């Protein structure tokens, strides 16, 4: 994946603040830092950072199902924002020296995509970059020669990850149009949050969009999936499929965060 890097001339603290991005990421890093001071009788004090067994981060970097945000947090915590300026080979070398092991090919793509989010606005502005990053974030190799059409669930995961990395920029109309086309291609007209502000206009007037949105809110509140053989029920089930894909990604993040807490 091409790395789009802007010239960085800010001081260390400014670059660190930009790398940390949104409030959520700062909170997660603070949570990681605070773990060393959380001591109970059943949980002995955490070892100093230079004495911690690094086998867990090693396996995270090698595991093809590693969550992109977890990789980002590990790199930021260990190397600071300097890693955002490294070439792929340099990142691989430092990870090997500090954690041992290697970075799987899929995770190399995720790291490239995360670095793109930190260093440029291209993900939010250009549909091609958005699509390449989406492939990497959802365990696919980006194809720079052919158009890969993601699923609505993949797009939801991609935007969810981007929102965790940065909260200072909105999707351009070009990218919103691309997302709209993806949704129409899958005939999913009420995509779940964080895509719920994307306007999807059906090609026909058979769907009552306001009612569909209310029905979706009801499903989220009651957890009851419609079983009727109707157009409206099918729409709800398609939206639910995208939501479940996103939910699995979020659960994977939570599980992996617990695993790497002392890394």
pLDDT recorded at residue 226:
87
Averaged pLDDT for residues 89-117:
93
The rounded radius of gyration (Å) of the Cα atoms in the chain is 20
Averaged pLDDT for residues 126-139:
97
pLDDT recorded at residue 261:
75
pLDDT recorded at residue 223:
84
Residue 7 lies in a domain: no
Three-point CA angle 256, 262, 263, nearest 5°: 75
Whole-angstrom Cα distance, residue 53 to residue 107? 21
Residue 56 lies in a domain: yes
Q: At residue 162, what are phi and psi to the nearest 5 degrees?
A: -60, -40
Domain extent at residue 225: 12-37+48-259
Residue 235 lies in a domain: yes
CA-nearest of 144, 127, 89, 128 to 111 is: 89
Three-point CA angle 251, 30, 169, nearest 5°: 70
Phi-psi region of 48 (alpha: psi -120 to 50; beta: other; left: phi over 0): beta
pLDDT in tens, 10-58: 444 454 445 444 434 544 454 445 444 443 333 333 333 233 345 678 8
Structure pTM? 0.79
pLDDT recorded at residue 263:
58
Note whether 200 and 191 are within 8 A (CB).
yes
Residue 197 lies in a domain: yes
Note whether 216 and 190 are within 8 A (CB).
yes
How many distinct structural domains can be found in the chain? 1
pLDDT recorded at residue 158:
98
pLDDT category of residue 117 using cuts at 50, 70 and 90: very high
Residue 125 lies in a domain: yes
pLDDT in tens, 155-176: 999 999 999 999 999 999 999 9
- The helices-and-strands tally (H runs, E runs) of the chain is 12, 0
Whole-angstrom Cα distance, residue 140 to residue 65? 11
Residue 185 lies in a domain: yes
Residue 73 lies in a domain: yes
Those residues whose C-beta lies under 8 Å from the C-beta of residue 20, and which sit 6 or more positions away, are 26, 29, 76
Residue 4 lies in a domain: no
Place of tokens 């290697």: 102
């Amino acid at each position: 994946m091409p790395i789009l890097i802007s010239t960085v001339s800010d001081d260390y603290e400014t670059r660190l603040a930009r790398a940390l991005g949104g409030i959520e990421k700062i909170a997660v890093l603070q949570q990681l830092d605070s773990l060393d001071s959380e001591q109970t009788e059943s949980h002995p004090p955490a070892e100093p950072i230079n004495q911690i067994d690094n086998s867990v981060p090693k396996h995270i970097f090698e595991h093809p199902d590693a969550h992109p945000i977890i990789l980002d947090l590990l790199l930021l915590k260990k190397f600071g924002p300097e890693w955002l300026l490294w070439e792929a080979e340099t990142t691989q070398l430092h990870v090997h020296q500090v954690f041992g092991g290697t970075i799987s090919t899929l995770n190399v793509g995720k790291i490239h995509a995360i670095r793109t989010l930190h260093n440029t606005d291209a993900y939010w502005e250009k549909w091609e970059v958005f699509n390449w990053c989406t492939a990497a974030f959802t365990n696919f190799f980006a194809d720079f020669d052919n158009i890969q059409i993601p699923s609505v669930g993949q797009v939801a995961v991609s935007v969810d990850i981007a929102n965790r990395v940065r909260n200072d920029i909105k999707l351009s109309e070009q990218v919103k149009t691309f997302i709209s086309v993806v949704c129409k291609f899958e005939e999913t007209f009420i995509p779940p949050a964080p895509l719920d502000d994307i306007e999807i206009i059906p090609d026909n007037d058979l769907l009552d969009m306001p009612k569909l949105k209310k029905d979706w809110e009801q499903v989220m509140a009651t957890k009851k999936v419609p079983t009727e053989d109707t157009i409206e029920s099918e729409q709800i089930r398609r939206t639910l499929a995208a939501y479940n894909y996103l939910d699995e990604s979020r659960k994977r993040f939570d599980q992996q965060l617990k695993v790497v807490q002392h890394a």
